[in-house]
């Protein structure tokens, strides 16, 4: 099997596993991203996420994650839901409606990697989905999956931005896709204008230390008083910048059973959230990404919004 045939078979298998899109880039040092990452850290846009300061070199050079790396397979997996929460309730980000995506995607990535090794034998490779120092969006652009929106997320013309990114880094040469170089945001600033905490900066850089997702998930301290009244009922994550993006009018519901929400979630009222017990929390979010904030963190967020 030559590299064109292998690449073709990998892409077909990825689509068979449910991935929406797949592209492949040649591994190499991310020279253009180095000064951007350095500036982002220097300005303190990572807030108290100190882990972002670690492994600077690994974030820019995939060969430090997989010795001899030659290719980066970038994949997109849809999570846009069929049904959404009631409008007048406390909200969680759509990506967290169902089972934690780390587990769902990791299993699919491992299956795809097994398919590769079954065809060509043992190789040096690792799979990632928001779980290691990998600049996912940079590789997605290089692999031709889409462009970086002003909210810093990858957007695809016919699918919007409600999808997870995942990667396989491997020491196998494959047929590479052309990088995505066209920006289709134009003069639109809806995401910038809609962000209530002014976290989205004009140069496609996100000040994560002002992002609602950062406050409701990452920050372990007390929420800052100056942010009171700005969360617009979000208690875990935030979808504002994606919800207002015109490209997401093309988003279609996912077909992943594991991403379907617990039956009780979509109908929960504000009172239900305010009275949620730890047992109910454990039941509804048993395998959900919401467990990351823990029961105490969720209650903190609800109390902050309640005032």
96 in Cβ contact with 236 (< 8 Å):
yes
Q: Which two tokens stand for residue 91?
A: 């909200």
Neighbours of 190 (CB within 10 A): 16
Q: Which of 151, 162, 136 is nearest to 206 (CA)?
A: 151
Neighbours of 106 (CB within 10 A): 16
Residue 265 backbone phi and psi in degrees, to 5: -60, -50
Which are the catalytic amino acids?
A: 130
d(CA 273, CA 285) in angstroms, rounded, equals 13
76 in Cβ contact with 19 (< 8 Å):
yes
For 237, the 3-state DSSP assignment is coil
Strand 163-170 to 125-128 pairing: antiparallel
d(CA 305, CA 292) in angstroms, rounded, equals 19
Could you tell me where the DSSP H helices lie in the chain?
A: 3-16, 33-42, 56-60, 101-120, 136-142, 190-194, 212-213, 240-243, 270-274, 278-284, 294-306
């Amino acid at each position: 099997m030559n590299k064109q045939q292998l690449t073709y078979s990998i892409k077909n298998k990825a689509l068979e596993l449910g991935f929406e899109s797949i592209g492949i880039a040649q591994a190499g040092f991310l020279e253009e991203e180095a000064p951007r990452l350095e500036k982002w850290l220097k300005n303190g846009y990572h807030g108290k996420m100190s882990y972002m300061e670690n492994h600077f070199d690994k974030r820019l050079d995939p060969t430090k994650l997989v010795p001899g790396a030659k290719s980066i397979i970038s994949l997109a997996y849809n999570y846009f839901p069929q049904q959404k929460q009631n409008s007048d309730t406390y909200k969680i980000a759509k990506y967290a409606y169902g089972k934690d995506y780390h587990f769902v995607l990791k299993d699919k990535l491992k299956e795809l990697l097994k398919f590769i090794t079954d065809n060509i034998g043992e190789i040096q490779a690792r799979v990632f989905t928001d779980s290691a120092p990998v600049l996912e969006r940079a590789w997605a652009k290089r692999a031709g999956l889409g462009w970086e929106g002003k909210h810093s997320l990858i957007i695809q013309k016919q699918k919007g931005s409600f999808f997870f990114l995942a990667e396989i880094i491997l020491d196998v040469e494959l047929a590479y896709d052309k990088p995505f170089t066209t920006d289709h945001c134009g003069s639109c600033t809806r995401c910038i204008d809609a962000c209530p905490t002014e976290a989205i900066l004009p140069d496609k850089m996100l000040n994560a230390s002002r992002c609602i997702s950062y406050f409701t998930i990452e920050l372990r301290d007390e929420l800052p008083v100056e942010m009171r009244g700005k969360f617009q009922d979000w208690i875990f994550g935030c979808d504002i910048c994606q919800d207002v993006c015109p490209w997401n009018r093309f988003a279609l519901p996912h077909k992943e059973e594991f991403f379907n929400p617990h039956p009780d979630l979509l109908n929960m009222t504000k009172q239900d959230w305010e009275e949620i017990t730890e047992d109910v929390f454990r039941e509804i979010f048993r395998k959900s990404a919401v467990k990351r904030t823990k029961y105490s963190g969720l209650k903190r967020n609800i109390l902050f919004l309640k005032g």
